[in-house]
Structure 1
Amino acid sequence: MKLRTYVLVVYALFSASFISSQTTDSVANKIADAFNELSNFRTFDNIYLQTNKDIYETEEDLWFKAYILDAHYFTPSVRDHVLVVQLINEDTQRTIWKEKYEILDGFVNGHVYIPSTIEFGNYTLMAFTSHSFYKDSNSFFSFRTISIVDKIDKSVKSGTDDPEKSVLHEFTLFPEGGDLISGIEHNLAFKATDKAGIPLEVSGKLFENNQAILDFETKHAGMGSFSFRFNKSNVYKIKLDQDSTESYDIPKIKLKGKSLQLVSQDEHEAIFKIAKNNYSEVDTVYLRLQSRGTVYSVAAMALKNQGFVKIPLKDIPQGIAEVTLLNQNFQPIAERLIYVKPNQKLYIETTLDASEYKTREKIKLSIKVHDQYNAPVIATLGLSVVDQLYKNKHDPKTIMSHYYLSSQLKGAIYDPNYYFNPENEDRQHALNLLLLTQGWRRYVWSENELHSLSKSDYKIIPDPLEGIVYAKQKSRNKTPTHPFVIVYSGVEQSDTYFLETNFANRFELNHEQLKLGKRGFIFLKPVGDSESEYRINIHDISFDSINHYRKSQAAYYPIIKETKTNNDANTAFFEYDSTQKLDEVILRKRKERAYRDKYLGRLDSLATVVIPDCVCEYNIVNCINHCPQKQETYSEEELLKMFNLTMIKGFYGKREFYSPTYEAQTPEDDFPDYRNTLIWKPDIITDTLGEAEIEFFCSDIFGNFNVTIEGVGQNGLLGSETLDFIVRKKY
């Protein structure tokens, strides 16, 4: 990929000079090509999970939509066809659900059933593809936390009784650009948190040679910064007002070097100051800007003491960009992150046809999507309308916070949605503090991070699956013929595939074959000449590999902002007069099914015919002592071996969300309707005007309901919107 932008202005103060355009063009392309090649060692998918709600009860359906987007451009990825999903208990780490889902055009509309036997508590819904999770990845972000409770009024309230909460645990200092250089004014950022990672507001003083010379305080979420010209010959300490007995050393001061500082930034451009403390000679330096692994601009400067570089931001997409100062040998010597175009997003406007509704009344929801220039956008959206009791409004995970922040920076980010709310007038300054502290050398697309990744292919999830056919000749004088594999589901009138094997008798099982076994299994049977015996060896190790490698990798989920909970606002379940209560319910255990798959059940009935009658040496038919006995039932393993079959689980079948209509009265309308999710529609696509309209009906539950819409535009823009409405009792 070539350099995207090279229209830069270099200002000179004191002594700086320009380099010829021919030289700078060739050097700029060389720098850009080297980095782009580095970022293309791996192709990444970035997965976001949207769920219909945050709190579930047992025997409910968990509906989810998976966005599998290209990590470079945030457009739907078509690299993979298989999404591996697990639901894991956070306390026990026990997997209670694991299935494979088919990816269609970069999306999955999936479903998980929560059984009655599940333990109550917090769970993690995880999703992976072969291009989203590697053996040598340092962390992963593609998951969502949910809570499973006995009853909604018994759900766990926010807060903690940890005695170490609100006690300073970590105070860290971060020089802008990476290092403090003696004699050059620097921004020194800082961050204060408790043991749980919750930010703390602190204030303090900078001491030079035991004399207080500067006061500072936090500005947002435990973060702040101050500017000072440090000198290596002096001794510096920091003391906080909250604990004057403890002192903190500042980072090491380098005697010589160069610094990088952001002077100003707006929607159109960013201006940087580059300075050095050695004036004896002129050095050639380069300033590179890259975002998500793509270089967008490179500037060259002949630097004697200090100069300014203006970088246009017109062609750079929203999100984090890394600005790196390189020396004449193209080695990084200073770097910092900036956030570009926070207003460049998908704007989702929603309109309800009324401000409040009655139970079982129809609702019309109009949706209009446009970009920052008010141009309509064709977008793929997911919609959920749910009783507010089942939503955690303080959960900071949204499609924007996930793609623009959480998956770009290492570590758990506190209240990331603050930075996307235009009502927060200081959000640009707060973003700058976040990137100066948490983003300090922790950007996932940084050169250091990309260098740490091997060029080798370290995929964990095989897509497609690979198998091999082993052939054994019955006769020594005959060589087995080249085998092939029959793939079918065992369901009548279903498709059948015939797979060829290569010279080593290997074959591939792809997503088209896995579709045969939706909500069931597919069967593989080797076929060759009658004079040879064939066996198939194929194993799907996806889940075992994921569980093995994820234990050694950090999982980062945004930290929820602490809020006071009004317990009175959480009402219990509604109970209706029409509900009939039973005095007693007797449950009887059903006889367990011998087989999960119907096809194996049919094979079991055929197995008794396969074994012929036997007469032993004493002329006793089917002698129990000398003849093989016909079994009433056979195990799966016995049946598969008997018919020379290999069984593989297919994709989990797609299910449709049930939403009743009450326009025409039917006998079914007399039954209570206790849906707390009124509508789950993960497949909304706006038209060329960016519009869509959805209709659905209220249930018998009245109270406050929440509407959540998230999605991605065909141009890679992301957006999220919420609104609330009230449902009142009809009678």
Structure 2
Amino acid sequence: MKRRESAVRYFRLFVCCVFLLFITRLNAQEQRVYIHQAKQIDSFMDTLRNKMPMERLYLHLDKFNYLASDTIWFKAYLFEDAYLMPSTKSGIIYMELVNTENQVMKRMKFPVRYGLCWGNISLGESDLPSGTYLLRGYTNWMLNFGQDAVFSTSIYIADLNSKTIVSRESARIGSKSIKPVTRITDKVAALEVVSLPGKLQLEVAVLPLDDTLPATDHYLVALSRDVVCYAVPIDLKGGKIVKFIDKQLFPTGMTRFVVLNRSLQVVKERMVYIDQQDQLKISFSTAHAVHKAMDSITLQIQVADKNNVPLQGSFSLAVTDDGQTGIDKRSHGLVTYILRVSDSLLYSRNPVHDWKELLNKELKYKAEPEFIISGRANSAFKGLSEAKVSLFLQKPLMFMDTIAGPDGRFVFKNIPMSDTAVYKIQARNKKGKNFFVNLEVDEWVAPVFELMPKLEQMDSLLKDANFVQKVQKALSFKQKFGKATGHMLDEVNIEAKKIVKGSYNLNGPGGADQTLTERDMLKEGKKSLYSLLMERVPGLGTGSYLFPPSRQRKFGLKIKGQLVKIIIDGIDVDQSYEYWQSMSSDDDTLEGMQERFLHLKTNLEHFTAEDVKGIEVMYNSLYNIKYNNKFLSQAETRFSRGGGLTGVGGVSGIDYAYIEVTTRSGKGPFMKPTPGTYLYKPLPFSLPLKFQSSGYGATVHWEPNIVTNEKGEALVSFRAGTQPATYSIVMEGSDMNGQLGSVTKPAFITITR
């Protein structure tokens, strides 16, 4: 950190010296103008970094191709941009697994401490068909900088039932094509930056294209990670300008050379990568190069800086079977991604035209240094000053309370971490009453990302015979050895009847064709009961029917041709519907047909999944006969006046199906929300599991938390698999003080029988 701060002070001193040399040739008035401009450019980036400090996120994965029953093991490194120190801005990372149609198949949340986080994502066998997926990682704060600030990488998942490797032509995930960097005009100047290997200086050339411009109206500025490293005024009247700039002024990474006008508008911009060869040196060794199956193997790890000085740091390591997976040649690695790729993606696709506009940019997404619950208690649309707000959590058992501010705002901090958190929040006024008290809780809203174009590199990989052979070998190992290690149980479908506590089910506990319990409700958040039923009840849809005594058809819910009745806490929702209302001749209009359907839908949309303890569906005669006897009216079971069947209900025709809903309040369809109460179900934290080798899988060992000692040393031990193979090792990490390292050793260990 001190080295980086010293470098910044040197950059500023250098900038000031260059400006002083230049302005001595100007008159007093011109000197005052350029001193002001020098300070403006230098201080602008400081102000911008303070307001909008950028974060860099990288995910180290154990491999890049998985089976549908596998687990993705990862470690996250989160840095602040300027000096690559641990980010203090965010304490939460979100990760998403996205299919080729841009649908989020999994979304998870992980805690971050000191810029580090590790965990796992389990892949269900039935949830994910074979194909390419995008794994995305971000913090809420990163969303302020656009989609290109978010980390993403593509992976391949093979379904256990698949016999071929799928390369979908419709795949459109991956990296967007780099757009040309457009500026306010291409007629002012041309900019060229040349960096030759072995040369100690950069050659930067500016060619004026407009001879009507003022002589001293522009600046050449160079930035690395948004720190001004070089800045001089340039005279566009004097013809082509060539500057030779020492590379030692810039840290390793992408340097942006920018031509600015007096208003700090970007005229031209070019980027160049500078490598100071200062990455961490990571090495490891074993006692033997060749081991036998099931042997215990110990890796001796050594980490040092470019001067061979031992360093302490945090690292992650993956050992993989070369026969089932390979080294991902598409992967950039920690060093390349953080220092090169992330800047290239962000700045080439999102060019800035006016630096001053950045200071006025609205920051929509707040930083999340920790998990908090916040909101507002109000009454009659006004903040409820000094309201007492309480927070309850059952697992782990917790109670907290606080007093709202003058505007009714409240915040709960230092909340215990839970992977199944459902919080009950209650608010009372100064007198301890909840009359006319309303609670508003700040809910996190998942971002919506654009659908990305097809990733050509992944498509070419899926057509590679060597890669296909590796995936097929992994599948065959899973089918051969997985059953012997317990996966045979997957074929046995033994399941106890689900029971909804407090249900009014006429058939008794478990007497239903389908049951959704409180555990199922917890997964659905604030989804409306109507949407929940339409998504989770197979065969549920809409259709027309004859409803007595009308001779016209109406519109409602049906399951397998059976008309659906909704029962909430033992009360028929239809009891508030006017069966015997007079029917006009225009009853077959759209409004008339949908009359009862809208009645049901309105009642169902009054509830959310949070209000419901369970749902039971009955459509077979074994379960619906008792409901028919209790809830069908005489009109619903008799013949029509013409002697024909009505087409619905009981003895006269098609049977009814019933959906019994049990609410938390137990007050039926007339339930009103309890004043001053809010049930809050955030996305739960996912806590890491410890890696355990199967003995035959593609990932032989995963170690996410390697910490080297003061001598730069660490030991990692693991057991070899059961089959002959060669193992590759990838190790990455940082001293969390600005220095990064990454090393890949293909076929480093050989396993024999």
User: Kindly tell me: are residues 698 and 598 of structure 1, through their superposed partners in 2, closer, same or farther at Cα, counting changes over 3 Å?
Assistant: farther
Task: Tell me which residue corresponds to 2:363.
Answer: 457
Q: Distance in 1 between matches of 2:261 and 2:482?
A: 78
Q: Distance in 2 between matches of 1:542 and 1:105?
A: 25
Task: Tell me which residue corresponds to 2:622.
Answer: none
Q: Deviations over 1:14-53 (max 9, x none)?
A: xxx9542995766433322234434554222222222222
CA contact (8 A) 2:136 2:151 kept: yes
When structure 1 is superposed on structure 2, of 531-540 and 61-70 the one drifting more is: 531-540
Q: Distance in 2 between matches of 1:315 and 1:721?
A: 27
Q: Distance in 2 between matches of 1:658 and 1:172?
A: 41
User: Kindly tell me: are residues 410 and 281 of structure 1, through their superposed partners in 2, closer, same or farther at Cα, counting changes over 3 Å?
Assistant: closer
Matched, 1:20 2:38: no
Task: Tell me which residue corresponds to 1:296.
Answer: 229
Aligned pairs for 1:512-523 within 5 A:
512-513=414-415, 515-523=416-424
User: Kindly tell me: are residues 521 and 315 of structure 1, through their superposed partners in 2, closer, same or farther at Cα, counting changes over 3 Å?
Assistant: farther
Is the partner of 2:271 in helix, strand or coil?
A: strand
Task: Tell me which residue corresponds to 1:262.
Answer: 193
User: Kindly tell me: are residues 695 and 580 of structure 1, through their superposed partners in 2, closer, same or farther at Cα, counting changes over 3 Å?
Assistant: closer
Task: Tell me which residue corresponds to 2:495.
Answer: 589
Matched, 1:506 2:409: yes
Is the partner of 1:496 in helix, strand or coil?
A: strand
Q: CA deviation at 1:89?
A: 1.9
User: Kindly tell me: are residues 286 and 585 of structure 1, through their superposed partners in 2, closer, same or farther at Cα, counting changes over 3 Å?
Assistant: closer
User: Kindly tell me: are residues 325 and 97 of structure 1, through their superposed partners in 2, closer, same or farther at Cα, counting changes over 3 Å?
Assistant: closer
Counterpart code for 2:445: S
Matched, 1:358 2:266: no
Q: CA deviation at 1:658?
A: 3.6
CA contact (8 A) 1:69 1:77 kept: yes
Matched, 1:491 2:399: no
Which residue of 688, 694, 697 corresponds with 2:710?
Answer: 688
User: Kindly tell me: are residues 305 and 364 of structure 1, through their superposed partners in 2, closer, same or farther at Cα, counting changes over 3 Å?
Assistant: same
Q: CA deviation at 1:56?
A: 1.9
Task: Tell me which residue corresponds to 2:427.
Answer: 526
Counterpart code for 1:709: M
Q: Deviations over 1:613-650 (max 9, x none)?
A: xxxxxxxxxxx99xxxxxx9944575996795523236
Which residue of 118, 121, 127 corresponds with 1:112?
Answer: 121
Tell me the number of residue pairs that the alignment of Structure 1 and Structure 2 aligns: 559
Matched, 1:393 2:328: yes
Is the partner of 2:126 in helix, strand or coil?
A: coil
CA contact (8 A) 1:3 1:28 kept: no
CA contact (8 A) 1:673 1:699 kept: yes
Q: Distance in 1 between matches of 2:490 and 2:460?
A: 43
Matched, 1:466 2:466: no
Counterpart code for 2:220: L
Is the partner of 1:689 in helix, strand or coil?
A: coil
Q: CA deviation at 1:133?
A: 0.6
Matched, 1:402 2:409: no
Q: CA deviation at 1:337?
A: 1.8
Q: Distance in 2 between matches of 1:373 and 1:332?
A: 39
Q: Deviations over 1:200-254 (max 9, x none)?
A: xxxxxxxxxxxxxxxxxxxxxxxxxxxxxxxxxxxxxxxxxxxxxxxxxxxxxx5
Q: CA deviation at 1:319?
A: 0.9
Q: Distance in 2 between matches of 1:634 and 1:591?
A: 17
Q: CA deviation at 1:267?
A: 6.3
Matched, 1:649 2:682: yes
User: Kindly tell me: are residues 155 and 451 of structure 1, through their superposed partners in 2, closer, same or farther at Cα, counting changes over 3 Å?
Assistant: farther
Task: Tell me which residue corresponds to 1:146.
Answer: 155
Is the partner of 2:42 in helix, strand or coil?
A: helix
Is the partner of 1:646 in helix, strand or coil?
A: strand
Q: CA deviation at 1:460?
A: 6.7
CA contact (8 A) 1:84 1:99 kept: yes
Counterpart code for 1:308: V
Matched, 1:71 2:93: no
Task: Tell me which residue corresponds to 1:222.
Answer: none
CA contact (8 A) 2:128 2:159 kept: no
Task: Tell me which residue corresponds to 2:465.
Answer: 565
When structure 1 is superposed on structure 2, of 267-276 and 102-111 the one drifting more is: 267-276
Counterpart code for 1:29: K
Q: CA deviation at 1:295?
A: 0.5
Aligned pairs for 1:126-275 within 5 A:
126-134=136-144, 137=146, 139-151=148-160, 154=163, 156=165, 258-262=189-193, 265=196, 266=198, 268-275=200-207
Q: Distance in 2 between matches of 1:107 and 1:373?
A: 26
Counterpart code for 2:293: T
CA contact (8 A) 1:702 1:726 kept: no
Q: Distance in 2 between matches of 1:301 and 1:679?
A: 56
Is the partner of 2:689 in helix, strand or coil?
A: coil
Pairwise CA RMSD of aligned residues? 4.6
Task: Tell me which residue corresponds to 1:725.
Answer: 748
CA contact (8 A) 1:9 1:311 kept: no
Q: CA deviation at 1:584?
A: 11
Task: Tell me which residue corresponds to 1:541.
Answer: 444
User: Kindly tell me: are residues 516 and 276 of structure 1, through their superposed partners in 2, closer, same or farther at Cα, counting changes over 3 Å?
Assistant: closer
Q: Distance in 1 between matches of 2:179 and 2:89?
A: 40
Task: Tell me which residue corresponds to 1:551.
Answer: 450
Q: Deviations over 1:659-714 (max 9, x none)?
A: 47xxxxxxxxxxx7444423222122222222211111123243232211111222
Q: CA deviation at 1:318?
A: 1.0
Q: Distance in 2 between matches of 1:489 and 1:140?
A: 35
Task: Tell me which residue corresponds to 1:417.
Answer: none
Which residue of 700, 710, 723 corresponds with 2:732?
Answer: 710
TM-score relative to the length of structure 1? 0.65
Matched, 1:103 2:9: no
Is the partner of 1:401 in helix, strand or coil?
A: helix
Task: Tell me which residue corresponds to 1:87.
Answer: 97
Q: Distance in 2 between matches of 1:87 and 1:577?
A: 25
Counterpart code for 2:231: V
Q: Distance in 1 between matches of 2:211 and 2:439?
A: 73
Unaligned runs of 5+ in 1: 12-16, 163-169, 181-253, 412-440, 474-478, 601-606, 609-623, 626-631, 661-671
Q: CA deviation at 1:578?
A: 11
CA contact (8 A) 2:481 2:696 kept: no
User: Kindly tell me: are residues 729 and 522 of structure 1, through their superposed partners in 2, closer, same or farther at Cα, counting changes over 3 Å?
Assistant: farther
CA contact (8 A) 1:65 1:382 kept: yes
CA contact (8 A) 1:38 1:451 kept: no
Q: Distance in 2 between matches of 1:375 and 1:119?
A: 47
Task: Tell me which residue corresponds to 1:322.
Answer: 256
Q: Deviations over 1:318-361 (max 9, x none)?
A: 11111223456765444322211252322222223321222221
Is the partner of 1:104 in helix, strand or coil?
A: coil
Sequence identity, in percent? 18
Q: Distance in 1 between matches of 2:143 and 2:489?
A: 52
Q: Distance in 2 between matches of 1:447 and 1:676?
A: 48
CA contact (8 A) 2:184 2:353 kept: no
User: Kindly tell me: are residues 57 and 326 of structure 1, through their superposed partners in 2, closer, same or farther at Cα, counting changes over 3 Å?
Assistant: closer
User: Kindly tell me: are residues 588 and 442 of structure 1, through their superposed partners in 2, closer, same or farther at Cα, counting changes over 3 Å?
Assistant: same
User: Kindly tell me: are residues 588 and 373 of structure 1, through their superposed partners in 2, closer, same or farther at Cα, counting changes over 3 Å?
Assistant: same
User: Kindly tell me: are residues 525 and 281 of structure 1, through their superposed partners in 2, closer, same or farther at Cα, counting changes over 3 Å?
Assistant: closer
CA contact (8 A) 2:195 2:203 kept: yes
Structure ranking higher in strand proportion: 1
Unaligned runs of 5+ in 2: 1-7, 171-176, 500-516, 524-568, 571-629, 632-659
Is the partner of 1:407 in helix, strand or coil?
A: helix
Task: Tell me which residue corresponds to 2:239.
Answer: 305
Q: Distance in 2 between matches of 1:19 and 1:153?
A: 72
Structure ranking higher in helix proportion: 2
User: Kindly tell me: are residues 328 and 350 of structure 1, through their superposed partners in 2, closer, same or farther at Cα, counting changes over 3 Å?
Assistant: same
CA contact (8 A) 2:377 2:438 kept: yes
User: Kindly tell me: are residues 173 and 53 of structure 1, through their superposed partners in 2, closer, same or farther at Cα, counting changes over 3 Å?
Assistant: closer
Q: Distance in 2 between matches of 1:100 and 1:328?
A: 45
When structure 1 is superposed on structure 2, of 30-39 and 57-66 the one drifting more is: 30-39
Q: CA deviation at 1:5?
A: 4.3
Matched, 1:345 2:279: yes
